Amino acid sequence: MVLLLLFLAGPIAYCAYIAFTDLQLTGQAHASFVGFDNFREAFQDEEFLNAVWLTLVFTVISSLIGQNTLGLALASLMQRASKPVRTLTGGIVITAWVLPEVVAGFLLYAFFRKEGTLNAILDALHLPSQNWLFTLPILAVSFANVWRGTAFSMLVYSAALNEIPKEITEAAEVDGAGGWRRMWHITLPMIRRSIGTNLMLNTLQTLSVFGLIWVMTRGGPGDKSQTLPLFMYEQAFQNSMIGYGTAVALLLLLVGSLFSVVYMRLLRTEV
């Protein structure tokens, strides 16, 4: 309890305070109170807006579309697949998830590099290869996040699909509903709570990804893959503007809390 208060609530309160100051790392004696200047500055700062946009792209591609859909697809395929294949696939996908963040980042860095595996495959298929980390860094890190995060969705959806009574799907099958229609009219409505929960948690998790992107691209080239956490880091430490970095952090935290509240709403209907 004390720990929680001291180390979570404390920093958040402190965060709220220095976000309104012009605190810098250069060691001036007193930071002065600057009101909403940091925030005003942020919304006029092109780099900040760029980071917001990239965060949005990153979250939508990797979390909403990638992890969520792929996770659901894997889970529903697993319902039908034979046991050895199920175990093998599950094992591999989960390993990608359990790996330490930095190792995962490094593995995918190797995968997407110019001399890396992806291009080797494309070459073999006579498809054009390119320097992914340079031309489409945000796409590369998004795929990396899908690689790393899909296991969670897969597990959540597997659990949800297992809870659907067999009779219902069988009845629909007898009535002549095809695979897609069954999915759309029966399965999806029945697991919609899990979908909500999963989307929420994925999004929150994706919002705070730092290590993965840091290892793969450092936010570069230029700022083409600089999402908010990286932007925050750069402002606070490379540009020594802690106050400004914290203002960005606070905004990120606000977005996170917003999602968090929605998430709790979803749960409340369930509990």
Partner 1 sequence: MPSRRTSRRLAADAGLLVVAAAFALPLAWVILSSLDPRAELRVKAPDGLTLDNFDAVLTPEITLTPLLNSLILCGGGTLLTVACSALAAYPLSRFRSRLNRPFLLTILFATSLPITAIMVPVYALFVRVNLIDTMQGTIFFFAASQLPFAIWLMKNFMDGVPKELEEAAWTDGASSFQSLIRIVLPLMGPGVAVVTVFSFVMMWGNFFVPFMLLLTPDQMPASVSINEFFGNRGMVAYGQLAAFSVIYSTPVILLYVLVARRLGGGFALGGAVKG
Residue numbers 215-254 binding partner 1 by CB under 8 A: 215, 229, 232-233, 236, 242, 245-246, 249-250, 252-253
Least Å from the CB of residue 115 to partner 1 = 5
Shortest Cβ distance from residue 193 to partner 1 (Å)?
8
CB 197 → partner 1: shortest distance, Å? 6
The answer to whether 81 contacts partner 1 (rule: CB under 8 A) is yes
**Of residues 10, 178, 221, 222, which one binds partner 1 by CB under 8 A?**
10
22, 116, 177, 183: residue in contact with partner 1 (rule CB under 8 A): 116
**Which residues, 6 or more positions from 196, have their beta carbon under 8 angstroms from its beta carbon?**
266
Closest approach, Cβ 88 to partner 1, in A, equals: 6
Residues numbered 13 to 42 that lie near partner 1 (CB under 8 A) are 14-15, 18, 23
Which residue's CB is nearer to partner 1, number 138 or number 201?
A: 201
Residues within window 118-157 making contact with partner 1, judged by CB under 8 A: 119-120, 147, 152, 155-156
Closest to partner 1 by CB, 6 vs 168, is: 6
CB of 208 to partner 1, least distance (A): 3
Least distance from partner 1 to the Cβ atom of residue 116, Å? 5
CA distance 170 to 156: 23
Binder to partner 1 among 12, 164, 186, 190 (CB under 8 A)? 12
Does 210 help bind partner 1 (rule: CB under 8 A)? yes
CA-to-CA dists, residue 158 to 56, 70, 78, angstroms: 27, 12, 8
Min. distance of Cβ 142 from partner 1 in angstroms?
Answer: 15
Number of residues that bind partner 1 (CB under 8 A): 88
Q: Is residue 264 exposed (0-12), middle (13-18) or buried (19+ Cβ within 10 Å)?
A: exposed
Residues β-bridged to residue 33: 21
**By CB under 8 A, is residue 82 in contact with partner 1?**
yes
Q: Are 228 and 252 in contact (CB under 8 A)?
A: yes
Between residue 93 and residue 112, which ones bind partner 1 under the rule CB under 8 A? 93-96, 98-103, 106-108, 110-111
State how far the Cα of 82 lies from the Cα of 107, in Å rounded to an integer.
29
Among 52, 61, 78, 138, binds partner 1 (CB under 8 A): 78
d(CA 81, CA 173) in angstroms, rounded, equals 18
Nearer to partner 1, 39 or 106 (CB): 106
Shortest Å distance, C-beta 209 to partner 1: 8
Long-range contact set of residues 23-28: C-beta below 8 Å, sequence gap at least 24: 23/242, 23/243, 23/246, 24/240, 24/241, 24/242, 24/243, 25/236, 25/237, 25/240, 25/241, 25/242, 26/240
